[in-house]
Amino acid sequence: MEIFAYLIKSLKDKSFYTGISENPEKRVKEHNQGKLKNTALKRPWKLTYKKAHSSYAEARKHEKWLKKKNRQYKDNLKIET
């Protein structure tokens, strides 16, 4: 099973949100439907980065690492699988 660390960017205010999911594309739809209170007010969101991991622990580690990066770094990331 693959689990992804992902990064989405708000098209409203250009802020970022970092998360993990087995299906990042489906998760972005949930963010955009307002189902998640942490991101509902900054819709719409666009998936800007994802990276596959073989375990939840590795994906979580990557997620925490991404959260510490600055805006410029996040703006330069590309989607990986």
Q: Domain limits of the chain? A: 3-75
φ, ψ (nearest 5 deg) of residue 30: -65, -40
Looking at the whole model, is its pTM more than 0.85?
yes
C-alpha 49/C-alpha 33 separation (Å) is: 20
Give per-residue pLDDT as tens, 1-52: 899 999 999 999 999 999 999 999 999 999 999 999 999 999 999 999 999 9
Q: Give the DSSP H or E segment for 63.
A: helix 56-67
Instruction: Decide if pLDDT at 80 tops 70.
Output: no
Q: Which residue has the tokens 């739809």?
A: 29
Identify whether the C-beta of residue 53 lies closer than 8 Å to the C-beta of residue 62. Answer: yes
What does the pLDDT read at residue 78?
A: 83
Question: How far apart are alpha carbons 30 and 76 in whole angstroms?
Answer: 24
